[in-house]
Structure 1
């Protein structure tokens, strides 16, 4: 009986094995039906990413709750670094030397309840047409004064994970238009 159980475990485990050098599995594409409120939330995220990428401090001042704190975690050579805080007020400080960039996302998951919402999505950042890094954005929003506003951004900044996250093959990439940088293809 022990041998039968051991043999069954070997067969089960071997079915989970991946051939050496095989590409990592891509995340499944979620087909989620978005309602009008989800679209309003995603439109706010779109405007925020355009404002960040285009260094539009006027738009950022309208969208971002400056008292908030955002958190970023870098990964270098596959090693996660410490999570670092960033005051939201720093997002709206003008920088005359700022270089526009594109940050686009796909397969967003929207959670909402009342005046609270969160958008979780993989993203890609490009500068001068070159892929810099990818990661996950988790953007917290609050409904204030009749509009959705950005309360906090949790973001991983990872080099070498773009293909695994679906960059390049994703459909429904957002935001599409409005960049000062290289057009979003």
Structure 2
């Protein structure tokens, strides 16, 4: 092997390792978000989101038409922390598809939502993240919600 080939192989290996580390950092950001969500801890959630985060959900109205609902982040936090202790809930993440380009990342996470140990609905979360000051922050979260067709 020539020195040039060895240098190219080393460079490619380092680049792949850096990409894997960034994917792990992005995944940790999403996992931290859900840790705060499940613990109903707004301070944990706030650590991994940007100040101007956008929250939206895609669903259907009573006539079956597609609708997009936008939520204020402060209202989202209030709703999470105000869930009574008698209510149990869990959003089970079924997988992660992480794509990164420079300081931008997208994470696609199919999920099931369980309320009081009963299946409620399923869907997919799509997170958009930006790396700011060496930390990944969620800037946009949109999800789908449905009760049927939930086999992933």
Range into which the TM-score falls when normalised by the shorter chain: 0.7 to 0.9
Matched, 1:72 2:60: no
Deviation at 1:100, TM superposition (A): 4.5
Native 8 Å contact 2:41 2:81 kept in 1: no
Deviation at 1:129, TM superposition (A): 1.5
CA distance in 2 between counterparts of 1:95 and 1:57 reads 7
User: How many pairs align?
Assistant: 131
Native 8 Å contact 1:61 1:92 kept in 2: no
Matched, 1:89 2:74: yes
Greater RCO, 1 or 2 (C-alpha within 8 Å, sep 6+)? 1
- Which is richer in strand? 2
Q: Which residue of 2 aligns with 1:58?
A: 43
Q: Are the structure 2 counterparts of residues 123 and 97 from structure 1 closer, same or farther at C-alpha, using a change threshold of 3 Å?
A: closer
- Which is richer in helix? 2
| CA radius of gyration, larger in | 1
Unaligned runs of 5+ in 2: 1-18
CA distance in 1 between counterparts of 2:110 and 2:83 reads 28
Backbone CA RMSD of aligned residues: 2.3
CA distance in 2 between counterparts of 1:43 and 1:129 reads 26
